[in-house]
Amino acid sequence: MNYLELFRATLPETALEIAALLVLVVDLGFLRKAALTVRAGTAALLGVAGCAAALWMVPMEPLGGLSYPGTGELLLAGGCTATAAQIGILALTALTLLLLIEAEFTRHVGEYVAVVLMAAAGGLLISAAQDLLVIFIGLELLSLGLYILTAFAKRSGASAEAAMKYYLFGGMSAAFLLFGFSYLYGITGTTSLHQIMLALYGGNAYHAAPLMYVALVMIAAGLGFKVATAPFHLWVADTYEGAPAPAAAFIASVSKVASFALLISIGTAAVHLFDGMPGKVEAVAGIHLNPQPVYLGFRNAWSELLVVLAAVSMVVGNLAALAQVNVRRLLAYSAVAHAGYILLGLAFFSYSSLSAAAILYYVLTYGLTTIGAFGVVGVVERATGSSRLDAFLGLHKRSPLLAAVLLVLFLSLAGIPPLVGFWAKFNLFAAVLSVQHSGVALVLVALAVAMSAVSLYYYLQVLKRAYVLPAVDETAIPVHPTTLAVLLLIAVAVVLLGCFPALLQGWIAGFYPGM
Amino acid sequence: MLAWTIYLSFAGALLQALLPKGRPALSRWLALAVALSGLALAVLGFAAGMPDHFARFTIVDAPWVPSMGIHYLLAADGISLVLVLLTGLAAVAGVLFSWNIEIRTNQFFAFYLALIGGVYGVFLSFDLFLLFVFYEIAIVPKYFLIAIWGSTRREYGAMKLALYSFVGSAMVLIGLLAAYAASGSRSTGLVDLAHAGLPVSFQMWAFPLVFIGFGILAGMWPFHTWAPTGHVAAPTAASMLLAGVVMKLGAYGCLRVAMSVFPHGMDPWGFTLLGIGSWRDVFALLAVIGIVYGALVALAQTDFKFVIGYSSVSHMGFVLLGLMTLNQIGMTGAVLQMFSHGVIAGLLFAIVGRIVYERTHTRQLAELETMHLSKRLPFAAWAFVIAGMASMGLPGFSGFVAELQVLVGAWIARPWWTIVAGVGIVVGVAYTWRAMQKAFFSDAPPGPHLHEPGHELAAITWPEMAGVALLGAATLAVGLYPRVLLDAIEPAVRALLAGGLQ
């Protein structure tokens, strides 16, 4: 490995960093006297251009990546999940940047865009990472950006409070993660995911099994914090409520996509541990209810952990969301619930690309929908000064298009066909059941479906305010044309991708040649 | 051609949503045009099925999600055609009886037509996934129709209905996912799943799950409680559709999905508990209880609309009982009862909710008693007499043929079902008679406001007359010449019975 190779493998990240610096230079250097709207527009457009440039540089060849010198062990993967997730991250980042255009929470738009781009670079890094050190660096790069973004509304006390909570929880979970990583390194003597899986399966690690369980619990706590699973979800509601709307949209979408891409990498490494060895063996997936415990290395214990987290998240997220009176907090708890559904897919992970593709499908479409939801919340908040449920009263009169977008997005989140949220759920649950036919998997899927029936209630609470209950104030809500265009684009995409699910599914499957 | 019933309805819904505000007349005529063309297509489709003796034919078959074996498969057999015809009738009548919707008219018809499109879709889908998609599309508009344009406790009724429906569909979804996985994740076609050889042990739990899931929407006792509150809260057109076609979606799902895909779920358990030895006995028992319970509760109501609401539970019990007879005549009767009840319940709700309530502004039987409506609204009184006779199951109306067939089928299967259900019919006569007497033909002393000037009731409008004529003619025509529908239903039921159902 030389520096040229390193540079080539991280071209997209580099493009984002250069774009970030460019935004800073233009905003602080040339536009000091310009109006805020001009600066915001310029910064957002430059940021989108940076995303586009990075998108153009994402390596499309199926088997690229960056390896250790001398060995075949990957630092950064190319192709498959990594590419699809990176493209998703860049596209979603561009969408959240476009929501900035009419935002008024800060005067420092240049810095805001720069931090968003740098955090997105961290996201790109972890969605391709195959090594514990790269994973940790990428996660920290992403997280630090998110803490800053949360605190960006300097005039708002809620924003500062949310950032402080987020930062404290985040620091703690990073410590847990690092602690877990150190145990894994201690047991196996390597930081490469693939080598770790192989070593844990081997005979030596068998005697260190208790240590491995400790390590896995620590790692689950650290990563569970990132993807907002219960019981590591306490930061979510406050952060979603306090952060400026575009920042919340970024946290809810891009950070989720990147973190789940990382979890997919871990799952893939766990089931593909014998790849490249003579006599290909399929690692067995899922939980085995044998009377005698079967030691299957990383795989089994990890599955059990994820099953517990998934079940707890689905129940806690959906039930807590029922009691919310603030739409942002409602979205936060629904995010916990959605994370639970996705973890179910990760717990029953298939050898083929089926599960990975289904999870990517889910998280990408979920990210898209949430950005739209936060976009609508942001507009309503600016007009009414609140994101409480009652702020949405009579929205269909105040802005029919905004109400229609809200209808589409929330029904999609509730999983109503023919919108994309339904298809994502169906796809994911079908993948879970195809990995394991009966027993635990079926019970958990039944729980997930039952819980999504519960979720309809709280999504309807918002739609009821928008469409049914009488309006208190009937003045029209002004919507910036760019924001409206982005929101309409998202709503149309949610409908079209739901009506023609094969489009996105085929696109994702295209990244998994021969599987 | 039949597929256009779906596309036209959805296109109409979209167009309505885009119409400018404040043009209610335009919305109405557009909705009527869409509903009428749907009915015309349904009639044409029905006529087109006649030459081949209503054998199943495919309308559209296109791969939808090729990697998962999901097809956009629309097809129709005799049962589907009859129910599509019913949907067409109910849609037109519903538009006619919503002629007086003045607020947010275009939104009303947008939700209305979206609901109709979903219903057409369910009746024409032969792919389980597609059927489920249409089934769920039909749920959401119901919520908004009731919550925005409804009356008594509308938000409560609407939310209750939406949650009951969604819980039911969640059960169906679990069954769908499990069946898809158990059959090897190759296809979601109804025919493919039915021929997949699903293990009996699997069918034994999947059948009750899916049957109850659909049964909730069919008003199966004890999961019926959404029905009366929902019907009462809904605006007239929505109650007509709810009772007329949406409850039929549930019954249709029970027949087309639960019973056809998991036929072995109705096999005997191998032991009996209190005379019950299979899921079939369980659901037949629930159906019989529903018949008697619905009728008895209807007898005790003080709100006119609640009488009709509970009568729907009772009449839908006949549908479920007919399905559980598992013989030709009983199941034919069940399908005919779906059509018959759809038409009659639509007519009853139209008279109670639109013709009477919009003029008297009360549905309390005690208050209606003092109004002498037979003299002041003779049209409503006679229309209700006709609808009531049809609802009681007098010969000459569609209800007679349908319920007779169900009872004969039940007698063949288990005689005691017939005996108990017969009690339900007698009570049915009683509650209809009571409601008719109290609402229209009472000789109670007149209320204080009866002879005040300015309290004349508005004249009957043409859409009301047209709607009553349409539905009344349908129930009479089928009652006098049932062969027109039976010719379509019988071969389809025979094919179903031969294809695995016992």
Domain presence at residue B147:
yes
Mean pLDDT of the B469-484 span: 88
Select from A430, A501, A505 the Cβ nearest to the Cβ of B181.
A430
pLDDT at A287: 44
Mean pLDDT of the A359-381 span: 93
Determine, for residues A468 and B144 on separate chains, whether the beta-carbon distance falls below 8 Å: yes
At B78-101, the pLDDT tens digits run 899 999 999 999 999 989 888 888
Mean pLDDT of the B68-85 span: 89
Q: Shortest CA distance to B121 belongs to which of B79, B80, B86, B69?
A: B80
Q: Shortest CA distance to A408 belongs to which of A419, A400, A398?
A: A419
Mutate to test the interface with A, among B18, B108, B135, B174 (most CBs of A within 10 A): B174
How close, in Å, is residue A388 to chain B by CA atoms? Answer: 20
**Percentage of chain B surpassing pLDDT 70?**
97
Containing structural domain, residue B256: 3-450+457-497
Which residues in chain A have Cβ-Cβ distances shorter than 8 Å to B174? 445-446, 449-450
Confidence of residue B237 (pLDDT cuts 50, 70, 90): confident
pLDDT at A306: 92
At B433-465, the pLDDT tens digits run 888 888 888 777 766 655 555 566 777 788 888
The first and second tokens of residue A417, run together, are 């066909």
With tokens 């019954």, the residue in question is B251
Select from B64, B148, B181 the Cβ nearest to the Cβ of A434.
B181
Mean pLDDT of the B212-232 span: 88
Which residues in chain A have Cβ-Cβ distances shorter than 8 Å to B107? 396
pLDDT at A167: 93
Helix (H) or strand (E) holding A393: none
Nearest CA in chain B to A416: B136
Alpha helix locations (H) across B300-376? 304-325, 328-349, 357-360, 365-369, 373-376
**Distances from the Cα of B187 to the Cα of A12, A446, A495, B142, B210, angstroms:** 40, 21, 24, 30, 18
Select from B132, B159, B178 the Cβ nearest to the Cβ of A460.
B159
C-alpha B169/C-alpha A503 separation (Å) is 26
Using a CB–CB cutoff of 8 Å, tell me whether B394 touches chain A: no
How close, in Å, is residue B420 to chain A by CA atoms? Answer: 35
pLDDT at A474: 82
The first and second tokens of residue A340, run together, are 């639970």
The contacts of residue A218 (CB under 8 Å, 6+ apart) are: A176, A177, A179, A180, A183
Which residues in chain B have Cβ-Cβ distances shorter than 8 Å to A429? 177
The first and second tokens of residue A348, run together, are 């029953």
Q: What's CA B374's distance to the chain center, in Å? A: 29
Nearest CA in chain B to A418: B133
pLDDT at B455: 60
Which residues in chain A have Cβ-Cβ distances shorter than 8 Å to B169? 453
pTM > 0.95: yes or no? no
Which residues in chain B have Cβ-Cβ distances shorter than 8 Å to A456? 162-163, 166
C-alpha A214/C-alpha A358 separation (Å) is 29
Domain presence at residue B502:
no
Determine, for residues B163 and A434 on separate chains, whether the beta-carbon distance falls below 8 Å: no
Lowest mean pLDDT among A184-188, A250-254, B277-281, B365-369: B365-369
Q: How many CB atoms lie within 10 A of CB A352?
A: 14
pLDDT at A336: 94
Determine, for residues B174 and A457 on separate chains, whether the beta-carbon distance falls below 8 Å: no
Alpha helix locations (H) across B326-448? 328-349, 357-360, 365-369, 373-376, 378-392, 398-413, 415-439
Nearest CA in chain A to B69: A502
**Percentage of chain A surpassing pLDDT 70?**
91
Confidence of residue A72 (pLDDT cuts 50, 70, 90): low
At A2-11, the pLDDT tens digits run 778 778 778 8
Mean pLDDT of the B189-197 span: 82
Nearest CA in chain B to A463: B144
Lowest mean pLDDT among A84-98, B148-162, B332-346: B148-162
pLDDT at B502: 44
The first and second tokens of residue B452, run together, are 């005040």
Q: Is the ipTM of this complex over 0.90?
A: no
Q: What are the domain boundaries of chain A?
A: 3-509
pLDDT tops 80 at residue B419 = yes
Using a CB–CB cutoff of 8 Å, tell me whether B181 touches chain A: yes
- How many degrees, rounded to 5, is the angle at CA B139 between CA A361 and CA B492? 100
Using a CB–CB cutoff of 8 Å, tell me whether B267 touches chain A: no
Which residues in chain A have Cβ-Cβ distances shorter than 8 Å to B180? 430, 433
Question: Number of structural domains, chain B?
Answer: 1
pLDDT at A286: 42
B281 burial type by CB count under 10 A (0-12 exposed, 13-18 middle, 19+ buried):
buried
Using a CB–CB cutoff of 8 Å, tell me whether B401 touches chain A: no
pLDDT tops 90 at residue B230 = no
Mean pLDDT of the B354-362 span: 81
Q: For residues A145 and A116, is the Cβ–Cβ distance under 8 A?
A: yes
> Which has more confidence, B371 or A304?
A304
With tokens 């003779």, the residue in question is B378
pLDDT tops 90 at residue B358 = no
pLDDT at A510: 82
At A254-302, the pLDDT tens digits run 999 999 999 998 988 888 777 666 544 444 444 444 444 445 677 788 8
Produce one character per residue of B238-270: b if its CB has 16 or more CB atoms within 10 Å, e if not: bbbbbbbbbbbbbbbbbbbbbbbbbbbbbbeee
Mean pLDDT of the A96-121 span: 88
> Which has more confidence, A330 or B446?
A330
pLDDT tops 50 at residue A139 = yes
Select from A434, A437, A456 the Cβ nearest to the Cβ of B162.
A456
Determine, for residues B133 and A417 on separate chains, whether the beta-carbon distance falls below 8 Å: yes
Nearest CA in chain A to B169: A453
